[in-house]
Structure 1
Amino acid sequence: MTLIVDQSTINIQVLFMVNKETKKALIEKGAEIIYLKGFNNTGINEILEAASVPKGSFYYYFKNKEDFGIQLIDHFLVRFLSGADRRLSVTKSSYIERLRVFFDDFLEFFKGNGFKGGCPIANFSLEMSDLNENIRKRLDTAFDQMNNKIALFLEGAVKNGELPEDLDTGLVSNFILNSWEGALLRIKLTRDVYPMKLFYNFVFQDLLNFN
């Protein structure tokens, strides 16, 4: 039997793939620039040029810069969540050790970046929370999702006997995330690892040292 494929169908599929890749390039290049320069200090044309996308094409992929910002938050969030999932899947070590290694991954990145940048979602929060309500709401839910992911490490540790059964994992994960973000802010100022050492010492030697 001969399979007949409509040329128009092929064209639509190719166009869809091209559009998807172009949008991905805009988000990835935008993420790189905004991570270091900030959202308001980065122009649309700068992103288009970095992504090698013709000027005027931005509004084909995004409603406006706010829409781009919200999708950029999603992009940063996926990186955080997928990194956590990778560490959660490593069954050879304890859950507390997996959590520590998860933070180690990010710390090594920040070291390699000269302690510049920090957490992109926190940076967004500091810059945009008072300026754009829709972006603020998305950032708030993003932090909830980050907190819930950290709580999975703690819940696993409780089930594994590494932490007390009555531990409020949601409360502790909130504290850990807030402490982590505070330490990241400080290392941007100090340009050294000392604030992060304080975070590690308290969280992993004092707070989570159950056994």
Structure 2
Amino acid sequence: MTTSTQLHSNDVREHILSTGQRIMAGKGFSAVGLNEILTDAGVPKGSFYHYFPSKEAFGVAMLKRYFDDYLAELDHTLSQPGITMAQRLMNYWQQWQDSQSFSDCQGKCLAVKLGAEVADLSDSMRLTLKAGTSGIISRLAQALAAGVAEGSLRIEDQPGKVAESLYQLWLGASVMVKIVRNTAPFESAMAVTRQIIRISP
């Protein structure tokens, strides 16, 4: 049975994680100190260490939370009724373009923002990133296979390899969008994606 104390405890932990995710999505992991997160969240430092033994442990929990939310949204997108799997996949990439703003992503571009940085800083955070991105690629592979089976798209390689290539394409486009400060890389990625999955008319 869940007590009110447990609910409060979970609320505080979630509040710290959401605050840190929002700030770090803008500034990066290393540039943000715990004091900035805790001041913004209105939580004393002692409370932080009650939930997280270190900043690295906080980073692991934050990334896990991010991917849990991401995968839940992806599952929802890929199970929308009344449209083909090809249309669901295109909706996913359109949502990616809409959410990965180069100016303000509100925590939705965490993997893009932190990927290269934390992979070099912490093996535990790298492994959390690896598990999360593998989950995305696996779901995309299943969706591609389903699209081929229903005849709404065609691909020239194994679904897993195509899914990995497409994810890498969009990850690279997200980085380039931040560099050039416009959405042209997303437009190119969308065009290449359409060529790769060859949506049936």
TM-score normalised by the chain length of structure 1? 0.86
1:33 match = 23
Is it true that 1:56 corresponds to 2:54 in the alignment?
no
Is it true that 1:72 corresponds to 2:62 in the alignment?
yes
The letter of the residue matching 2:148 is V
1:207 match = 196
The letter of the residue matching 1:179 is L
Question: Partners of 1:27 and 1:115 in 2: how far apart?
Answer: 18
The letter of the residue matching 1:191 is R
Q: Deviations over 1:17-67 (max 9, x none)?
A: 110000000000010000001111111111111111123211101121111
The letter of the residue matching 2:191 is N
Q: Deviations over 1:126-156 (max 9, x none)?
A: 1111221111122112211111121122122
- Of residues 130, 133, 146 in structure 2, which corresponds to 1:140? 130
2:71 match = 81
**Structure 1, 121-130 or 162-171: larger mean CA deviation:** 162-171
Question: Partners of 1:110 and 1:166 in 2: how far apart?
Answer: 28
Is it true that 1:131 corresponds to 2:121 in the alignment?
yes
2:37 match = 47
Q: Deviations over 1:151-175 (max 9, x none)?
A: 1221220221223487411000000
Determine what percentage of the aligned residue pairs are the same residue: 25
Where does structure 1 lack aligned partners over 5 or more consecutive residues?
A: 1-8
Deviation at 1:72, TM superposition (A): 0.7
2:8 match = 18
Question: Partners of 1:197 and 1:210 in 2: how far apart?
Answer: 17
May I ask how many residue pairs the two structures share in their alignment?
A: 199
**Structure 1, 33-42 or 155-164: larger mean CA deviation:** 155-164
- Larger Cα-atom Rg: 1
**Structure 1, 95-104 or 170-179: larger mean CA deviation:** 95-104
Report if aligned partners of 1:115, 1:188 keep a CA contact under 8 Å in 2: no
Is it true that 1:95 corresponds to 2:85 in the alignment?
yes
Question: Root-mean-square deviation (CA), in Å?
Answer: 2.1
Higher relative contact order (CA 8 A, sep 6+): 2
Report if aligned partners of 1:119, 1:181 keep a CA contact under 8 Å in 2: no
1:191/1:136 Cα in 2 relative to 1: closer, same or farther (>3 Å)? Answer: same
Question: Partners of 2:100 and 2:41 in 1: how far apart?
Answer: 24
SS at match of 1:91: coil
- Of residues 110, 113, 131 in structure 2, which corresponds to 1:120? 110
Where does structure 2 lack aligned partners over 5 or more consecutive residues?
A: none
1:126/1:138 Cα in 2 relative to 1: closer, same or farther (>3 Å)? Answer: same
